[in-house]
Amino acid sequence: MRRKSFWRQVVWSRLKYNRMALFGGMIVLLMFLLAGLAVLLPGDPAAIDIKQALLPPGGAHLLGTDDLGRDVLLRMLYGARISLLVGFVAVGISTLIGILAGALAGFYGGWVDAVIMRFVDIMLCFPTFFLILAVIAFLDPSIWNIMIVIGITSWMGVARLVRAEFLSLREREFVLAARAVGASDLRLIARHMLPNALSPVLVSASLGVAGAILTESALSFLGIGVQPPTPSWGNMLIAGKQTLGYAWWLSVFPGLAILITVLGYNLLGEGIRDALDPRLKDQ
């Protein structure tokens, strides 16, 4: 009840007055609605109709058509589903790995902490994007491989956050009291410490979704991400690069979709971080 009251009375009371955070939340909600709308619209995003090729925005095709006569709006809506799926699955994988590694390091300390954190340091020595490129080079460029690779190469920040929280929590009175009555290590971690360490993880996850969407778009733009004819904002960008001089809509609209979506998640994440900051006082 105390944590529910904290989220309702403190976090929400701060968040609802943060206009930029609310704007970001509206963008995120809108993207979910548009992604869900894709399955309700008639038509196949991969259907080719050369007679309708490179039609400008307007009329029956609100955002125009590409060089194969495919409707850009329909492909963007299906691309939104791909981007959101990649973002949430990849962040889910990285968050689970980071929570596990950080909880073990912070709870047990000693050699367990040393081994895990040295491995984190090694992982951080490699630029994440180039590490993803190296791994993808040995795998088939499928959407599931991309989500898994992004997830297993971006958990280090979450691990550090959780470890720091556990180091401060393990000497708190409620943890010592639970240990004194015979609570097991698993119960201490899962029931007493982890719920109190999730606030920074939530902020990291919301910002991580934006990063995962950008990474997937970059991989698809390079041709090693989601493969055609499956629509993705990244491969729509690369497809429109050749016709940018006379079919600007093929690159502008997917680029704007990436920009607006990433902006929405970043604004929402920043707002959640400010709302969870204990140093801020209610106005």
180-229: per-residue pLDDT in tens?
888 888 888 888 888 888 888 888 888 899 888 888 888 888 888 888 88
Q: How many CA atoms lie within 13 A of 94 on its CB side?
A: 32
Give this prediction's pTM.
0.86
pLDDT of the residue at 26 = 92
Strand partners, 71: 65
Q: What share of the chain is helix, strand, coil (3-state, %, to 5)?
A: 75, 0, 25
| The two three-digit tokens of residue 234, written as one number | 């990244």
pLDDT of the residue at 117 = 94
Helix (H) or strand (E) holding 177: helix 173-180
pLDDT of the residue at 170 = 86
Helix axes 199-221, 156-169, angle to 10 degrees: 170
| DSSP letter (8 states) at residue 18 | -
| The two three-digit tokens of residue 227, written as one number | 């493969």
| The two three-digit tokens of residue 86, written as one number | 């990649």
Among 13-27, 56-70, 157-171, the range scoring the smallest mean pLDDT is 13-27
As to burial, measured by CB atoms within 10 angstroms (0-12 exposed, 13-18 middle, 19+ buried), residue 55 is buried
Residue 211 corresponds to which amino acid?
Answer: G
As a whole number, mean pLDDT of residues 128-145 equals 80
Q: pLDDT-derived band of residue 44, with 50, 70 and 90 as boundaries? A: confident
Where do runs of H (alpha helix) occur along 181-248? 185-187, 199-221, 233-241
Cα separation, 105 vs 193, whole angstroms: 13
Domains and CATH numbers, the chain: 73-276 (1.10.3720.10)
As a whole number, mean pLDDT of residues 241-256 equals 87
Q: pLDDT-derived band of residue 11, with 50, 70 and 90 as boundaries? A: low
